[in-house]
Amino acid sequence: MTKTESTIRFLFGASRKDIRPLVHAVDITIKLMFSQGIPMDDIRVTHAVYPQVAKRLKTRSGASPSAKTTARRIQRLANACWDALVERNLVKEFLGTSLRDLQAPRDLLFYLAAFSHLGIPFFEAVKRYPELLFWPGQWWDDKAETHPHT
């Protein structure tokens, strides 16, 4: 079980939900943000994340679901995950601040990506690494020696 999967399973508890679409979406977001150095504002989840998740998933017939169907599944899971964060009073622990509402389901991908990859709340990650928002260049390799999980 990956760190992303264990984090999301922790949030959902003993749920029977198929969390794979959300796990894949967060893992792809981690790859885009931290391996490829793409800032959040430049990641278009409808083009860069959802189609990749659809390729990883298979239906019972063995075919991949459409990107649109996959996007809806991820959005529903993201909203349910947000509800779990709120219900369990974990918003501040995972985000580093109190938010009342999730602006868009895509935002949760970034919140969970930062928490899963760095092990710190999202807004703390943004304070430490403002390049997550605006990428000036190969910043992550320069900071690798201070990265908490290397």
Is the pLDDT confidence value at 96 over 60? yes
Amino acid, res. 96: G
Burial annotation 14-35 (CB, 10 A radius, 16+ → b, else e): eeeeebebbbbbbbbbbbbbbe
> Is 42 or 145 the better-scoring residue by pLDDT?
42
Residue 27: strand, helix, or coil: helix
Whether the pTM exceeds 0.75: the reply is yes
Structure tokens at 120: 């710190």
Q: What pLDDT does 150 receive?
A: 35
Please write the tens of the pLDDT for every residue from 99-145.
Answer: 989 999 999 999 999 999 999 999 999 999 888 887 555 444 454 44
Side-chain half-sphere CA neighbours of 69 within 13 A: 9
The rounded distance, in Å, linking the Cα atoms of 98 and 146 is 27
Contact 18, 58 (CB under 8 A): no
Closest CA to 11 of 78, 106, 58: 78
The rounded distance, in Å, linking the Cα atoms of 7 and 105 is 17
